[in-house]
Amino acid sequence: MLMTVIDLEKDSQISRHTWRAWIRLGRVPVVRLGRCVRVDETAYRRFLAQHVRVDGAPSEPITA
């Protein structure tokens, strides 16, 4: 399933602004459909497991 930034925000409780920043920095793999940006659910789950603690905070600073 492909997820929108709003889907990511609702599922993870991490703001869409943070998701957009991570996408812009290339931290989250995306699928681009014209101007639309989607994240594969498997890639999203993998990203959360590797980078986000259970309480929702980043496990380490996610910067460029």
Sequence spans of domains, the chain: 2-51
Distance between CA atoms of residues 36 and 31, nearest Å: 8
Report how far apart, in Å, the C-alpha atoms of 32 and of each of 9, 12, 50, 58, 62 are.
18, 21, 23, 25, 22
Choice among 1-5, 15-19, 26-30, 57-61 with the minimum mean pLDDT: 57-61
pLDDT digits (tens, 9 = 90+) for 27-59: 999 999 999 999 999 999 999 888 876 665 555
Q: Which residues pair with 52 in a beta bridge?
A: 58
Q: Is the pTM of this model over 0.85?
A: no
Which residue, among 18, 8, 17, 3, has the nearest Cα to 63 in the 3D structure?
18
Question: What pLDDT sits at residue 26?
Answer: 93
